[in-house]
Amino acid sequence: MKVIVIGCGRLGAELSYNLFKRGHEVSVIDNIPASFNNLPADFQGRLNEGEALCQDVLHRAGIENADAVAAVTNSDPLNAVAAYVAKTIYKVPNVLARNYDPHSRELFEYFGLQTVSSTSWGAQRMEELIFHSDIRTVFSAGNGEVELYEVVINDLWDGKTFDELIDCEDCLPVSLTRAGRAIIPTRQTIIRSGDVALISATFEGIENLRRRLRNVDKQEA
C-alpha cells in the first residue's frame, strides 16, 4: 500500500516506521524538519517538508496515488481539514484522522471522518484497568464506544442463561467457549462454570454487567 502520514511527532513516527517495516510505501509530511529525527535511522520512506494543506506538498507526497492517508498531528483543525481534503478532493479510499483533544470530536463528526482518539480511549482503558480487572477488554471499536470483553463464568452463574446474566440492551453475547470449543450463543444458552464468554458492550452496558456480578456475589456471600 502507498500511505501518507501527516505529522511526524511520536505517533506519526511510530506509525510510519511500523508501516515501513511491514513493506508499505510510506510518505511522511511535516512542516518542521527536526520532526523527521523522530524516525529510526533505517526508515526508508519519503520525507516531505512543508504544510500539509499545500497542494504542492501533497503532490510531492504522492496524494494522487495514495491508498491511505493518516492525519496525526497534534492540531485537531489541521487533522480534520487535511483528512477531509484527502477524502473529498483526492478521493483517497482510506482516510484516518487523529483526535487530539476530546472536546474537538464534533469537528471530525461533522466532516464524517474515521477518527482515532488516543486520549479518550486511553483514559477509558486505564479506568477499566484500575477498577475492573475481573473483565478483560480484548477488542475496541471506534474510540472505545463499543468493546469486546472476555468474561470467565464463575460458580455463581453455573446453570443460568445469558438472558439472566445480561440484563440490558447494551450488551450482546458474541461467543461462548467451553472445553476448547466455541459456539455462537443465544440469550437462552445455558452457561457453565469455567466457560469463557465474549460479550460486546458499550461502556454503560459493561458497567451494568459488572454491577450484576457484584450484586450476585454479595447475595451469595
Average pLDDT over residues 69-89: 95
Q: What is the pLDDT of residues 139-167, one digit of tens each?
A: 878 777 888 988 888 888 899 999 998 88
Asked whether the predicted pLDDT for residue 220 surpasses 80, the reply is no
Mean pLDDT of all residues in the chain? 88
Average pLDDT over residues 66-90: 95
Domains of the chain, start order: 2-117 (3.40.50.720), 125-220 (3.30.70.1450)
**What pLDDT, on a 0 to 100 scale, did the predictor assign at position 46?**
96
Residues 6+ apart with CB under 8 A from 127: none
Contact indicator for 108, 99 with CB cutoff of 8 Å: yes
**What pLDDT, on a 0 to 100 scale, did the predictor assign at position 133?**
54
Task: Kindly calculate the radius of gyration of the chain based on its CA atoms and give it in whole angstroms.
Answer: 22
Q: Is 198 left (phi over 0), alpha (psi -120 to 50) or beta?
A: beta
Asked whether the predicted pLDDT for residue 2 surpasses 90, the reply is yes
Of residues 121 and 180, which shows the higher confidence score? Answer: 180
